[in-house]
Structure 1
């Protein structure tokens, strides 16, 4: 099941995608991003069914990664022509398909809970903290 589509990318880019080569390329990138997501979250469909994340969140995250790639496919970081210069942040200039930490957080909203979470009302067994004499 694919979550994002060509229309999602075109809407976020703010322009139509009509060139056949670009259509193939964007569809391939969508598939690649979804493969990246599934490599880290193999049970994605089950997680969506149980919620969160939702299908809309997965589509948004996938589309945002593809849009980043479409806006800078070669990974150019700076451009200078005479006295004009344009620069991109390190992430924007990566030129590859990736998800940001905040996007992974949207896909795995409870992944950080557990090891460092607090449990109200939890009282440790203080006898276990001190060695017996």
Structure 2
């Protein structure tokens, strides 16, 4: 997988589709994937992020939104594995732009969706900060 593979999914991204998918599937997808996509989403909102980086983010979020991916999202237990791998790959590519403010926004939204007891350690460790 590379950035070009991710960028081909740009056309599937929209704010409305993104929030619909997050709301509808957050409990089933789990905190790791939702936290990772929220990190990407809030990084995308930063005005100082270069267009090439934004294209990678939009491509990964488009893949997350895409209803027909490699492993259907409805496949219990594994349906979000491919989404998570694409999102993590993109997150590592754009990690330089994921700052404390972005993390705080993502964690606050994650708490709104899942309650106070959310663990973001797995994704935070992948970011290396």
Could you state the TM-score of these two structures normalised by the residue count of structure 1? 0.33
Higher helix share: 2
Query: Which structure carries more strand by proportion?
Result: 1
Asked which structure has the greater CA Rg, the reply is 1
Higher RCO (CA < 8 A, seq sep 6+): 2
